[in-house]
Structure 1
Amino acid sequence: MFKSKTRILALALTCTALLSACVTPANLSSAKVAAYREAIELSGRLTVNYQKDGQTETLTGKFSWNQAPDSVNVSLASPLGQTIATIKVTPDSATLTQGDRAPRVARDIDTLTAQTLGWSLPVSGLRDWLQGYASGADGQRFAASPAANTVTTADGWRLTFVSWQDPNAAKPVPKRIDVARAASATAEAMEIRIVIDQQG
């Protein structure tokens, strides 16, 4: 279980920031992974390691993800399955709801994290990453495969597609994704492990 409501909120907002990008890949005819889909449903587990006051903090939880072309709905739960928060991200706003508290709303997820946590998570892309795609530091589209499983994005995230639902499939689907960012002048170091348990 989480140690405090602050840590719960941190996990919820971290997940929201990571799960909120609305980027649609282009020119994926030669993709190595399964074709990109605008609408998907996923569930899985998430572990986040981040630095706070010189100490490493760890957050763990479960998530369910429902993606449509113009929105993402995320439900976050404790490791034991208790719902912690629900999140809705649209092109116009990001909304976080926790239990019987009034929803927190901002124009986008970066603003919501900055207002709530005091620091922003300028991460975009997990809408792509969950399906095995990314935009590399060179601006080129990256389609992961078991043979080519690592890329670094323009904003400094190193993605490693560690395992696959079926690595022998002609177009495999990611199972585990490790994401890491080194500390910089504007951001703390962070590591995230995502395990996709079910995909529909």
Structure 2
Amino acid sequence: MPIKFPFRLLAAATIAFTLAGCATSTANLSTASVAAYRDTIDLNGKIAVTYQNNNETNRVGGKFSWTQRPGHVEVSMFDPFGQTVAEISVTPDSATLTQPKREPRTEKDIDTLTRQALGYSLPVAGLRDWLQGYATDAQGKRFVASPANNNVFTRDGWNLRFAEWQDKPGPNGAPLPKLIQANRGATADSGDLSISITIFPES
């Protein structure tokens, strides 16, 4: 039977993935892409994670809210009943995890926090980009997704697909992702990992 973990621990895994790309730079973007990329966004959505642990398949999911400002990301994670199960704040200097009825945990970076919370690291970078349709490909070049060019293999080993798009473009006219599917094979620290992210339309 699949190994089961407390939902709060699983929620922390989901959030750790979400925040690992907090330090993304726009240095390699074209002028048009820089104009479309936004350092300030507020998003809501839902996320589902399927991962391998001790050769067993485990699944977890919930809703999230994402608040991004220059150099700072705040994420709240909710269970299927709408209860807050975890909050994470990430800056260039630290990452803090707060869960109900537990003392906050702070580390110098999200990777360290992930290792301590989960027992292994999720070496993922990029969701700050992914949410807006960007990635860094296997050659280290900037990838700008579009409905006609929606698949990329990233530098850190993810097969990334922008499967669906919002009906309305962003404030700068660029298309906005609606459904993002990411898959990564087993690494030295963890088994296969698949993540599906649905972004709700911006209000």
TM-score above 0.5: yes
AA aligned to 2:38 is: R
Verify the 8 A CA contact 1:179 1:192 in the aligned structure 2.
yes
Structure 1 distance, partners of 2:108, 2:86, is: 18
Verify the 8 A CA contact 1:25 1:128 in the aligned structure 2.
no
SS in 1 for 2:87: strand
Moved more, 20-29 or 74-83: 20-29
Matched, 1:17 2:20: no
Q: Please, which of 16, 28, 31 is the counterpart of residue 30 of structure 2?
A: 28
Aligned CA-pair RMSD: 2.1
Task: Give aligned-pair identity as a percent.
Answer: 50
Q: How many pairs are equivalent?
A: 197
AA aligned to 1:48 is: V
Q: Deviations over 1:36-68 (max 9, x none)?
A: 000100000000000011111000100000001
* Structure 2 counterparts to residues 95-114 of structure 1, below 5 A: 95-114=96-115
Partner of residue 139, structure 1: 140
TM-score relative to the length of structure 1 = 0.91
AA aligned to 2:41 is: I
TM-score relative to the length of structure 2 = 0.89
Partner of residue 126, structure 1: 127
Q: Deviations over 1:85-136 (max 9, x none)?
A: 1110111111010112100111111101111211001111100000000010
Matched, 1:162 2:138: no
- The offset of 1:154, in angstroms, is 1.1
SS in 2 for 1:198: coil
Structure 2 distance, partners of 1:4, 1:119, is: 16
Which consecutive residues of structure 2, in runs of 5 or more, have no partner in the other structure? none
Moved more, 97-106 or 16-25: 16-25
- The offset of 1:159, in angstroms, is 0.7
Q: 4+ residue runs of structure 1 moved beyond 4 angstroms?
A: 167-170
Structure 1 distance, partners of 2:4, 2:53, is: 15
Structure 2 distance, partners of 1:38, 1:179, is: 22
- The offset of 1:199, in angstroms, is 2.6
- The offset of 1:4, in angstroms, is 6.8
In structure 2, relative to structure 1, the CA distance for the partners of 1:168 and 1:66 (3 Å cut) is: closer
- The offset of 1:13, in angstroms, is 3.2
